[in-house]
Chain A
Amino acid sequence: MTEPALISMRGIVKRYPGVTALRDVELSVRPGEVMALVGENGAGKSTLLKILAGAARADEGTIEVSGVVRDIQAPRDSQACGIAVIYQELNLANDLSVAENIYVGREIKNRFGLVDFRAMERGAAALLDSLGVTISPQQLVGDLNIALRQMVEIAKALLVDARIVVMDEPTSSLTEEEVETLLELVRKLRSNGVSVIYVSHRMREIYEIADRITVMRDGAVVGVCEASTTTPNDVVQMMVGRELVDLYGVRSVPLDETAAPALEVKSLSSGDLLHDVSFAVRPGEILVLAGLIGAGRSDAALAIFGAAKRSGGEILVSQKALALRTPTEAMDAGIGFVPEDRKHQGLFLGLPVRENISSASLRAISRLSIVSRRRDRDLAAHHSSQLGLRLSAIDVAAGTLSGGNQQKVVLARWLARKPRILILDEPTRGVDVGAKAEIYQLIRTIAAEGVAVLVISSELTEVLGIADRIVVMREGYGVGELNAADATEKRVMAMATGVEGDVS
């Protein structure tokens, strides 16, 4: 194809204090093409999108749209170039109707200068119709599911005649069916001559929809490939930059299959969220709870940790049934919990790393309620150096650290308590590959020390990479258990989605 590129980013460099986020990045998209942009978290995808959207400025490089160099300084410049970015977190007003959302900032007015709702509803209906979506323009956005909200966002983009639609992980919170609808829509956009930049981690979708794939790693483009002549494995290889096996490490100490479980969950139930979930973790074992987002895995973790109510079932720690009504009781029973959402559940972002680390160990470093500043410092220093955090970082606010280092701070908090059972909910989310490898290594080490480790993960490769055993959950039920040796991506996915038999 010799068609000129619709958009072409050349030699893009972006530096943040101390880090070069993008190094000489090239990205070009032809008209009517779906370009997938892939890379591990931290590879620079979001920064690149921000520059394209006018939310950040490149330090070097040019952006050409239809062969003309454009200076994109602010979101409105980007929009003027026909670029529409649909972020993971949608920009919609939930209390307004679909039509009002689509026309936000471009309201149609009647001759009295008042908003003409009728005309807006007619326009919105026509637009949604052209996308093959059946949503009433009068419906409140808050009443729609996430997939439909995305459709509204896309319709909003098309209203301003976007020629390039950028979608940032649009399917991360969609069900299988919703994903299908979205992909159908992307095909429709393409056939209308709109170009799509599609950011995703899911190889299956990418190979279903993309014409070409741009792979990024560590702030640079490591390759652009045709979807028709490559396999998902090639792409993953490029993304990670080495054999996957190394990333997850291997078990160093043989697992004692006869040991009594350190944690046993029997028929755990919690309202509509959890139904009759049972599993057990032995000392030294890594058990992974797999499943789709919303399958109830985090709810199970919160219930075990005493942070969510249980309506039934038993939790046994070292074969003793315990009530575990509050996190404090769970902690006293030797349980540690690294929650899913680092920013909202894990860290005290504005407080020093030191205080973050010792926050769950205050009793151990204080006498008569008075915190020993020396022991506070020693504890933080010891555990941060163990995790490869720099000592100079311990007085810095936790919020200033990178994702990987933030996760290490939360891990350090729990390791400082020497737990016998450690629950890790999505421990590598938003963490770059290097830190990922370190976190897996750490999980291996603590398991080898005899800690029972329960990991929740939505990434299939991660599930298969570190698990000794896998329990799959779906819609609040435990639907199956697999030994690592018998598990394949297909089997886990089939169980997680409830599709029996062979799934491709």
Chain B
Amino acid sequence: MTINEVTAKKDPASAGAGAAVPVPERMTPGQRFRLRVRKIVGAREATLAGVVVLLVVYLSFASPYFLTAGNLTVVGRQIALALIISVGMTFVILIGGIDLSVGSTVALVSVLTGEFMVTIGIPPVLAVLFALLGGAAVGLINGVINAYVGIPSFVVTLGMLAVARGLSLGITSGSTISGFPPEFLNLGQGSALGVPIPVWVAVVIAIVAHLVLTRTTFGRHIYFVGSNEEAAKLSGIRVRRVKIAVFVISASLASVSGILETARLSVGQPAAGNGYELLAIGAAVIGGASLFGGVGGILGTALGTSLLLLIQNALILLGISAYWQQVFSGVIIVAAVALNMWRRQRK
């Protein structure tokens, strides 16, 4: 027996060992359809989607208020605002980083919007733009320090969490700013075609983000950096640029959420966004993102965000004290990750 024969025999086994779904080289349309269905049902997100649907069905029966237009609008807005932040967080987590400063960025942008629009009296459009730029700058600083100084993102953004919150408090001396023009407030409180404006914004952002991650070279680069930074560098990917970009994206999306939140609540306040970073991290992780990077997606994050906020809503509707809500959120985060790990091991 020659060596080549030996390999030829061994090859199919070793190459196909991890194949979950065998792909025949030529398929009839029927086969292709079945393969598609199997892929969708077998996808990481399928279980989660099932859980979310079950929860919605359960709530529709358990509470007469759940399906009311009023409640759905409130939940929709909450999910939208959180989703915008979670999408940005997903980008950072995909490269194996973390952004703890998003909640404080929401506060900073909220305060800046108030200062620009109300205190100084800049035209609303410009005021929003400047506030967004301020928020993006937070991400730029995070990214540059992380990429060029090499300080882990956990530490950099932990520092920024304090700095941005402190700036918001310092600028306003701790007080809130109100007196926004109604056309601005419409951003957070108004609807288009019966759907709240923040929901439209979040849907567009989520779709664009999904396409960026799955279809563009930049998206591929993000997964490469998260999967193996050294290999990414040696494949000619400009790792530092990718890192800076994701932190700017994360901070910018937090800023957008901050603008919408300010408009929704009609006040610029330095206490806004408290704890949002944990909600966003939780949503991404429930959605299947790995904190080690390289694994995760927008669909999962959207489902994770929905699940967390639907449960909050459920607890309110079922009359359980708000004080207990965090206990549920915490349990769900850990349970979802445990479920994911279990599924992966079984494979």
Interface residues of A (CB under 8 A from B): 16-19, 218, 240-242, 247, 305, 307, 326-328, 330-331, 337, 339, 344-351, 355, 359-360, 362-363, 366, 369-371, 373, 388-393, 395-397, 399-402, 404-405, 413, 432-435, 437-438
Interface of A, helix, strand, loop or mixed by DSSP:
mixed
Asked whether B230 lies within 8 Å of A434 as measured between CB atoms, the reply is no
A391 to B14, CA, bound (A): 13
Asked whether B18 lies within 8 Å of A348 as measured between CB atoms, the reply is no
13 intermolecular pairs with C-beta atoms under 8 Å apart = A17-B17, A19-B17, A241-B3, A331-B236, A345-B228, A348-B294, A362-B221, A371-B217, A371-B219, A390-B11, A393-B19, A399-B18, A432-B10
Q: Least Cβ distance of A357 to chain B in Å?
A: 11
Asked whether B2 lies within 8 Å of A360 as measured between CB atoms, the reply is no
Q: Which residues of B lie under 8 Å from residue A18 when comparing CB positions?
A: 12-14, 16-17
Asked whether B217 lies within 8 Å of A435 as measured between CB atoms, the reply is no
Q: Please, what's the 1-or-0 string for B309-322, where 1 marks a CB less than 8 Å from any CB in chain A?
A: 00000000000000
Given A339-B231, A392-B25, A401-B14, 5 more A-B residue pairs with CB atoms under 8 Å apart are A16-B17, A360-B236, A369-B218, A405-B15, A434-B4
Q: Of A240, A307, A337, A437, which one neighbours B4 at CB under 8 angstroms? A: A437
Q: Least Cβ distance of B23 to chain A in Å?
A: 5
Asked whether A344 lies within 8 Å of B228 as measured between CB atoms, the reply is yes
Q: Which residues of B lie under 8 Å from residue A371 when comparing CB positions?
A: 215-217, 219-220
A19 to B13, CA, bound (A): 6
A350 to B293, CA, bound (A): 10
Q: Which residues of B lie under 8 Å from residue A391 when comparing CB positions?
A: 23, 25
Asked whether A347 lies within 8 Å of B215 as measured between CB atoms, the reply is no
Q: Of A359, A395, A404, which one neighbours B235 at CB under 8 angstroms? A: A359
* Residue B6, interface by CB 8 Å: yes
Q: Which residues of B lie under 8 Å from residue A389 when comparing CB positions?
A: 15
Asked whether A305 lies within 8 Å of B6 as measured between CB atoms, the reply is no
Give the bracket for the number of chain B residues in contact with chain A.
35 or more
Asked whether B215 lies within 8 Å of A400 as measured between CB atoms, the reply is no
With most chain B CB atoms within 10 A of its CB, the pick from A242, A393, A435 is: A393
Residue in B closest to A403 when the chains form the complex, CB atoms? B14
Chain B 191-244 interface residues, beta-carbon cutoff 8 Å to A = 215-221, 223-224, 227-228, 230-238
Q: Of B17, B23, B25, which one neighbours A395 at CB under 8 angstroms? A: B23
Q: Least Cβ distance of A32 to chain B in Å?
A: 37
Asked whether B228 lies within 8 Å of A396 as measured between CB atoms, the reply is no
Asked whether B233 lies within 8 Å of A392 as measured between CB atoms, the reply is no
Q: Which residues of B lie under 8 Å from residue A359 when comparing CB positions?
A: 220, 224, 232, 235, 237
A240 to B3, CA, bound (A): 9
Asked whether B235 lies within 8 Å of A402 as measured between CB atoms, the reply is no
Q: Which residues of B lie under 8 Å from residue A19 when comparing CB positions?
A: 10, 13-14, 17
Q: Which residues of B lie under 8 Å from residue A339 when comparing CB positions?
A: 231, 234
* Residue B295, interface by CB 8 Å: yes
* Residue B22, interface by CB 8 Å: yes
Q: Least Cβ distance of B120 to chain A in Å?
A: 38
Residue in B closest to A347 when the chains form the complex, CB atoms? B231
On whether A346 and B217 interact (CB within 8 A), knowing A328-B236, A405-B14, the answer reads: no
